[in-house]
Amino acid sequence: MGGDEFLITFALSKGRILDDTRPLLRAAGVDVTEDPESSRKLILATERADVRVVLVRASDVPTYVQYGGADIGISGKDTLMETDTTGLYEPLDLKIATCRLMVAVPDDTDYEALVQRGRRLRVATKYIDTARAHFAKKGVHVDLIKLYGSMELAPLVGLADAIVDVVSSGATLKANKLKAVEKIADISARLIVNQAALKTKREALMPIIESFAKSVSK
Ligand code: ATP
Ligand code: MG
């Protein structure tokens, strides 16, 4: 594959982040040339012959960029907080896909009283390390239960007293008779770059990063 060393691989995940990212890709001249939601392809061409997009799970984006499977990518801060980010450079807060990482409990739970009581809390989440650090700082003892999705279900069936999850409008919590009681962090999508690629492919990468920076500051 001649010329492969000039190819920039951009890792993205379908859904929210991709929707919010496409205007930025367009402004940088590297938008995908087919509809990512309807295509079954995992590698998509962009408007530039030397740039391609790979579609991976949101939680896999940092891994692809870290190990050089992609040179650049976009990942939620929630995912980055849960990941070992060695070898990743995080140059830009894109201020898209914004939400909050929250503790939530059933509507009828008195969270303060529950915490005061000092009993161990059962907390279901996919953000195990972030949740552990949060409750340790508060001095609250927790048993953490790892889930991969639909965290809202856990308190409804008695699997957990509380959940830690990302919340934007709160509609999903409300629909499941839960309420957010504590903010752990404000979340937004971040541009991430492979540190080695930033050196070896600097000339190709910098204009893309700079275009993204310009879009954000508008
Ligand atoms: P995976 O499919 O790998 O398990 P996921 O289901 O979390 O990941 P998405 O739901 O597409 O994937 O979420 C991707 C990112 O979008 C999250 O990491 C978070 O930063 C952001 N996000 C998630 N939920 C919301 C929300 N309700 N509002 C805004 N941004 C959100
Ligand atoms: Mg998902």
Over the stretch 91-138, which tens digit does the pLDDT of each residue have? 999 999 999 999 999 999 999 999 999 889 999 999 999 999 999 999
Assessment of whether the complete model's pTM goes beyond 0.85: yes
Q: Domains in the chain, ordered, with CATH?
A: 8-97+188-217 (3.40.190.10), 99-187 (3.40.190.10)
SS (H, E, C) the chain: CCCHHHCEEEEECCCHHHHHHHHHHHHCCCCECCCCCCCCCCEEEECCCCEEEEECCHHHHHHHHHCCCCCEEEEEHHHHHCCCCCCEEEEEECCCCCEEEEEEEECCCCHHHHHHHCCCEEEEECCHHHHHHHHHHHCCCEEEEECCCCCCHHHHCCCCCEEEEEECCCHHHHHCCEEEEEEEEEECEEEEEEHHHHHHCHHHHHHHHHHHHHHHHC
Question: Which residue, judged by its Cα, is nearest atom 1 of ligand 1?
Answer: 58
Residue 148 alpha carbon, nearest atom of ligand 1: 4
Of 99, 146, 168, 172, the one to substitute when testing ligand 1's pocket (max ligand atoms within 8 A of C-beta) is 99
Question: Which residue, judged by its Cα, is nearest atom 23 of ligand 1?
Answer: 166
How large a percentage of the chain has pLDDT more than 90?
94
Q: Is 100 in the pocket of ligand 1 (CB under 6 A)?
A: no
C-alpha of residue 154 to centroid of ligand 1, in Å: 18
What is the tens place of the pLDDT at every residue in 150-175? 999 999 999 999 999 999 999 999 99
